[in-house]
A and B are shown apart, each in its own frame.
Chain A
Amino acid sequence: MAETTEVLEEKKIKVKEREPLFSKKNKKLISDPLDENNPITIQVLGICSALAVTVQMKAAVVMSVAVLFVLILANVSISLIRNLIPNRIRIIVQLVVVAALVIVVDQVLKAYLFDVSKELSVFVGLIITNCIIMGRLEAFALGNKPWPSALDAIGNSLGYGMVLVIVSFFKELFGSGKLFGFEIFGNATEQTGLYAMGYMDNGLMLLPPSSLIIVAVYIWVQKIRNPSLIESH
Chain B
Amino acid sequence: MAINKDSNTYTISFAIILVIIVGGLLAAIANGLKPIQDENLVNEKKQNILNCLPGNKSITRDEAGSVFANFVKQRVILNYNGEIKENTLLDNSTELNNKDSRDAFSIDLLKEYKTIKDEKSRNYPLFICDVEGKTYYVAPVMGKGLWAAVWGFIAIDESGNSISGTVFDHKSETPGLGAEISQDFFEDQFIGKLISNEETYKSVEVNKPGNPLNDYQVDGISGGTFTSVGVEEMMSRTLVVYHKYIKNLNRS
Interface residues of A, Cβ cutoff 8 Å to B: 53, 55-56, 59, 84-89, 92-93, 96-97, 100, 103-104, 107-108, 110-112, 114-115, 121-122, 171-172, 175-176, 189, 203, 206-207
Number of interchain pairs (Cβ within 8 Å): 76
Within 8 Å by CB of B33, from A86, A100, A108, lies A108
Residues of chain B contacted by A86 (CB below 8 angstroms): 5-6, 10-11, 14-15
- Asked if B40 lies at the interface with its beta carbon under 8 angstroms from chain A, I say yes
- A-B contact list, 13 entries, CB within 8 Å: A84-B5, A86-B15, A87-B6, A89-B11, A96-B22, A97-B22, A100-B26, A103-B26, A103-B29, A121-B171, A206-B176, A206-B223, A207-B223
B: residues with CB less than 8 A from A are 5-6, 10-11, 14-15, 18-19, 22, 25-26, 29-30, 33, 36-37, 40, 44, 61, 147, 171-172, 174-177, 185, 219, 222-223
19 new A-B contacts, CB < 8 A, other than A55-B174, A115-B61, are A53-B175, A55-B175, A55-B176, A86-B5, A87-B6, A88-B11, A89-B11, A89-B15, A93-B14, A100-B26, A104-B25, A104-B29, A107-B33, A108-B29, A110-B33, A110-B40, A121-B172, A122-B171, A122-B172
Rank and list the top 9 A-B pairs by shortest CB-CB distance, nearest first.
Answer: A55-B176, A111-B33, A111-B36, A86-B11, A114-B40, A122-B172, A121-B172, A100-B22, A55-B175
Chain A residues whose C-beta falls within 8 Å of the C-beta of B175 in the assembled complex: 53, 55-56, 59
Neighbour of B176 across the interface among A110, A111, A121, A172, CB < 8 A: A172
Per DSSP, are chain A's interface residues mostly helix, strand or loop, or mixed?
A: helix
